[in-house]
């Protein structure tokens, strides 16, 4: 992915959607999927650096190699505003037995023993005056990848798509979703 990103010219979402063709809605058509992939690959070259995390949690091991579904850990995503990040208890479902000799897992075990949550650093964050809700997006069939990139292959999650106002509005326009100020602003 990084190699491809380096080879591809920088393209904007708008250009990528033009490449994908105006005939198919970007979220459902094969050409649209290609357009979004092109956009994400191009955007990958300029991704915001990943913040440092208190425990070296690796999505490529869990969501990639072990193929644990995103929703197993991010339980709120299909029904509420926040996707939510799993509690230590959810990690211990496996790590009370998996890889207990690892120093990183011993760090996790210490949180479990002392009943203290892990303070994960936020990667994506809209400003306080903005209302973002996951559920309607997931219910409308927008894939995690469309907004977050190929997280299942990331060792550290970084933001790969702007998700600023123009970006939100652009996708809403393409999908006949609401453009009312009050939809996204409190």
Instruction: Answer yes or no whether residue 2 interacts with ligand HEC by CB under 6 A.
Output: no
Among 46, 82, 110, 116, binds ligand HEC (CB under 6 A): 82
Shortest gap between Cβ of 20 and ligand HEC (angstroms)? 13
Token representation of residue 131: 């209302």
Residue 33 CB partners (closer than 8 Å, separation 6+): none
Residue 2 CB partners (closer than 8 Å, separation 6+): 44, 45
Shortest gap between Cβ of 106 and ligand HEC (angstroms)? 9
Shortest gap between Cβ of 48 and ligand HEC (angstroms)? 10
For residues 5-44, which are near ligand HEC according to CB under 6 A? none
How many CB atoms lie under 10 A from the CB of residue 152? 17
* C-beta separation of 174 from 25 below 8 A: yes
For residues 117-146, which are near ligand HEC according to CB under 6 A? 120, 122-127, 130-134, 136-138, 140, 142, 144, 146
DSSP E strands in the chain: the ranges are: none
Q: Which is nearer to ligand HEC, 5 or 124 (CB)?
A: 124
Shortest gap between Cβ of 158 and ligand HEC (angstroms)? 9
Instruction: Answer yes or no whether residue 116 interacts with ligand HEC by CB under 6 A.
Output: no
**Distance separating alpha carbons of residues 75 and 7, to the nearest angstrom:** 36
Instruction: Answer yes or no whether residue 77 interacts with ligand HEC by CB under 6 A.
Output: yes
* C-beta separation of 151 from 58 below 8 A: no
């Amino acid at each position: 992915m990084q190699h491809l990103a380096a080879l591809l010219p920088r393209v904007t979402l708008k250009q990528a959607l033009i490449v994908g063709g105006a005939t198919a809605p970007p979220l459902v058509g094969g050409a649209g999927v290609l357009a979004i992939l092109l956009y994400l690959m191009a955007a990958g070259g300029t991704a915001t650096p990943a913040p440092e995390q208190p425990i070296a949690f690796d999505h490529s091991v869990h969501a990639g190699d072990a193929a644990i579904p995103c929703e197993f850990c991010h339980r709120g995503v299909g029904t509420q505003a926040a996707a939510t990040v799993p509690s230590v208890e959810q990690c211990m479902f496996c790590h009370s037995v998996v890889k207990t000799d690892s120093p990183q897992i011993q760090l996790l075990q210490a949180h479990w023993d002392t009943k203290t949550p892990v303070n994960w650093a936020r990667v994506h964050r809209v400003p306080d005056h903005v209302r973002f809700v996951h559920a309607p997006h997931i219910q409308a069939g927008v894939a995690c990848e469309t907004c977050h990139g190929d997280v299942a292959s990331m060792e550290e999650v970084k933001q790969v798509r702007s998700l600023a106002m123009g970006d939100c509005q652009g996708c809403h326009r393409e999908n006949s979703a609401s453009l009312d100020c009050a939809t996204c602003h409190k």
